[in-house]
Amino acid sequence: MNLYEHIKKEDKEVFDSIEGEQKRQKEGLELIPSENYTSAAVMEAMGSILTNKYSEGYAKKRYYGGQEFIDQIELLAIERAKKLFGVPHANVQPYSGSPANLAVYLATCNPGDTVMGLNLPDGGHLTHGWKVSATAMFYKSVPYHVSEDGRVDIDEIWQLAKEHKPKLIWTGATAYPFVYEYEKFAEIADAVGAFLAADIAHVAGLVVAGAHPSPVAHAHIVSTTTHKTLRGPRGGMIMATAKGLAKDAELGQKIDKAVFPGLQGGPHDHQTAAIAIALKEAATPEFAAYGKQIVANAKALAETLKKNGLKLVANGTENHLLLVDLVPVFGPGGGIFASEALEAAHMTVNKNTIPKDPSSPFYPSGIRLGTPALTTRGMKESDMKKVGEWIARGVHAVASYKLPEAKEARGPYIEKFKADLAANAEIKTIREEVRAFSKTFPLPEEE
């Protein structure tokens, strides 16, 4: 069935790109841990008639008429979020994770207040106070780091919190293969009077599946995206916990005002409907099994990579993602060689910094990969063994390349590397094996 017949008639150029992307997803392995496949129902909501409506404000308090059914949808999404995560207040209007996090700052801090979050090269997120983000431009950011073993340095956080007395402390990350120790962060935040915000964008689906601890009893605020492991549309949510409302009875209202009118205009109603559907799906026993399978698959993939000669940060994983330390293979800055080689072999990962990276974020020394999307397609531990072997073969196939020390030499060297990839016999062989394997696991829309 052609899902895009009207686009094909209206705009052949866009249609061809969509068709190309559909083919890429179908014939390849999506290993970026922040990506996933939505259900057909979520996809339908995103393309529904709701996209025509403008709904500035909140349910029952809109600035435009014709909101009867929009209000029903938004209230449904809110109630489902509250029930699923066990919180008394939820806002489902953030356009995505970054605006949601910025709204947390607006609700809890004044410009210039001190905030703390995990350093970006150590696995943190831009919006947790990284220097090029607005969150460091308008607030005083004091980043914390990980220890030699890759775990967050709790002793350092204690020391920094006592010294700087932050108004807001973030826990959460984008490249951290451990379970988050929310109770330890709560102890620190409570001791210095800070708000504790848990950004669970990466692990939200694992949390509701019971495959990862929940921060709700420990944090004042929980923010999340609605894609990634939660398997919904690209969107965001902010939740105030009972602990948060006990600290500030107006916290829920402050969050709502921060989202609108503080940062956004009208919500994306089609996105709200898709979030509501995803939350309903996440409340099922099938989703709980899915979340646990993600972690089982990640652990199986980790073991296979190690058996095939690759070094992992943390020597494995406790959640859905893995960080591969490629310094033993390429020396500093070799993430680009692995990511390009694997993409040529139809496996999508992203180059990523590793803790204490000897190179830079632009030329990092690792790759980040995860199992949410592969698990959605029905893959299990035995399949991860095959995937891990392909990844290792792909990396080792280009192990002779090294990033030049001279910056001006890097661009031409990488371009030559990409040209060499087109003729690499091992990469070609892996690509055909991956393509045949991928076709046996349909995308959700094909089922």
Q: Name the pairing type of β-strands 311-312 and 321-325.
A: antiparallel
Looking at 282, 298, 330, the residue that finishes a domain is: 282
| Edge-first strand listing for the sheet containing 168-171 | 89-91, 236-240, 221-225, 195-199, 168-171, 114-116, 140-141
Based on the domain organization, do 178 and 252 belong to the same domain?
Answer: yes
The domain total for the chain is 2
- How far separated are the first and last CA of the chain, in Å rounded? 11
The pair of structure tokens assigned to 224 is 């999340």
CATH number at 118 reads 3.40.640.10
- Any domain includes 5: no
- Specify whether 250 is located in the same domain as 308: no
Dihedral through CA 106, CA 108, CA 109, CA 114, nearest 10?
Answer: -130
Residue type, 269: D
Is residue 54 part of the annotated active site? The answer reads: yes
The single residue of 82, 140, 184, 234 carrying the catalytic annotation is 234
Same domain, 194 and 225: yes
- Say how many C-beta atoms besides its own lie within 10 A of residue 406's C-beta: 7
Q: Is 239 left (phi over 0), alpha (psi -120 to 50) or beta?
A: beta
Does residue 225 carry a catalytic annotation?
yes
228 catalytic per annotation: yes
Query: Which among 199, 256, 325, 357 is annotated as catalytic?
Result: 199
* Dist CA 200 CA 97 (whole Å): 10
Q: Tell me if 23 is assigned to some domain.
A: no
Q: Answer whether residue 330 is part of any domain.
A: yes
pLDDT digits (tens, 9 = 90+) for 52-103: 999 999 999 999 999 999 999 999 999 999 999 999 999 999 999 999 999 9
Domain identity same for 136 and 273: yes
Q: What domain range includes position 407? A: 285-446
Task: Specify whether 295 is located in the same domain as 190.
Answer: no
Local confidence pLDDT in tens for the 447 residues of the chain? 467 999 999 999 999 999 999 999 999 999 999 999 999 999 999 999 999 999 999 999 999 999 999 999 999 999 999 999 999 999 999 999 999 999 999 999 999 999 999 999 999 999 999 999 999 999 999 999 999 889 999 999 999 999 999 999 999 999 999 999 999 999 999 999 999 999 999 999 999 999 999 999 999 999 999 999 999 999 999 999 999 999 999 999 999 999 999 999 999 999 999 999 999 999 999 999 999 999 999 999 999 999 999 999 999 999 999 999 999 999 999 999 999 999 999 999 999 999 999 998 899 999 999 999 999 999 999 999 999 999 999 999 999 999 999 999 999 999 999 999 999 999 999 999 999 999 999 998 776
Instruction: Spot the catalytic one: 26, 44, 53, 54.
Output: 54
Does a structural domain hold residue 173?
Answer: yes
Dihedral of CA 208/214/220/223: which sign?
Answer: negative
Judge whether 238 and 223 are in contact, CB under 8 Å: yes
Encoded tokens for 19: 């068709």
Tell which of 263, 282, 301 closes a domain.
282
Orientation of helix 407-421 relative to helix 335-344, angle to 10°? 20
Strand order in the sheet with 311-312: 311-312, 321-325, 366-370, 350-352
Tokens 């052609």 correspond to what residue?
Answer: 2
pTM comes to 0.96
Which is catalytic among the residues 225, 226, 272, 304?
A: 225
Strands (E) in 193-232, as ranges, are: 195-199, 221-225
Rounded CA-CA distance 224/203 in Å is 9
Same-domain pairing of 251 and 110: yes
Q: Which two tokens stand for residue 370?
A: 């995860």
Out of 27, 56, 248, 420, which one is annotated catalytic? 56
Q: For residue 325, what is the domain's CATH number?
A: 3.90.1150.10
Task: Find the catalytic residue in 228, 243, 299, 351.
Answer: 228
Residue where a domain terminates, one of 250, 282, 314: 282
- CB–CB of 401/416 below 8 Å? no
